[in-house]
Amino acid sequence: MTSYMQKKETVDRKWYVIDAEGKPLGRVASKAAVLLRGKHKPTYTPHIDCGDYVIIINADKVELTGNKLETKMYYNHSMYPGGLRERSAKVMKEQYPVEMMERAVKGMLPHNRLGRTMYGKLFVYVGAEHPHMAQKPEVMEIK
């Protein structure tokens, strides 16, 4: 018996909408990462980008459990001496909710060229509206 290897020309892509309102950040990010990688499909092939497009709405209303709002830190460095910038999760949620969601999902994707192409199929929006209605996205429920 031979195993099925999908080709990038034969990938059938769908569009999914995930509403992050009131959901934990990690659950939303892990569900989005699974959809972006294509691991929910029976035709999943590890070395092919066979994932779907994911739209995350209401990124500003995502929840963080425990003391993460005060204790979780996000770091950036400009590569200059003294160029370390650190922000708490509370600041990120209030001022940069899209970046917070994108970082969570990007960390769950492969860290190579394939992961960068998968990350390009992620769209995160602050409000409930998005400009992708023409693609007829399906609603993905998260428990």
Establish how many alpha carbons lie within 13 A of residue 28's alpha carbon, considering only the half-sphere containing its beta carbon: 29
Q: How far is CA 86 from CA 58, 74, 132, in A?
A: 24, 6, 33
Question: For each successive 10 residues of the chain (143 residues), what is the average pLDDT?
Answer: 88 97 97 98 94 98 96 98 98 97 98 98 97 97 90
Instruction: Estimate to the nearest angstrom the gap between the alpha carbon of 56 and the chain centroid.
Output: 8
Q: Is residue 87 part of a domain?
A: no
Burial of 45 (0-12, 13-18, 19+ CB in 10 A): middle
Number of domains in the chain: 1
At 31 the pLDDT is 98
| CATH number of the domain residue 49 falls in | 3.90.1180.10
At 2 the pLDDT is 84
At 38 the pLDDT is 97
Q: Is residue 103 part of a domain?
A: yes
At 143 the pLDDT is 83
Reduced to 3 states (helix: H, G, I; strand: E, B; else coil), residue 85 is: strand
The phi-psi region of residue 6 (left if phi > 0; otherwise alpha if psi is between -120 and 50; otherwise beta) is beta
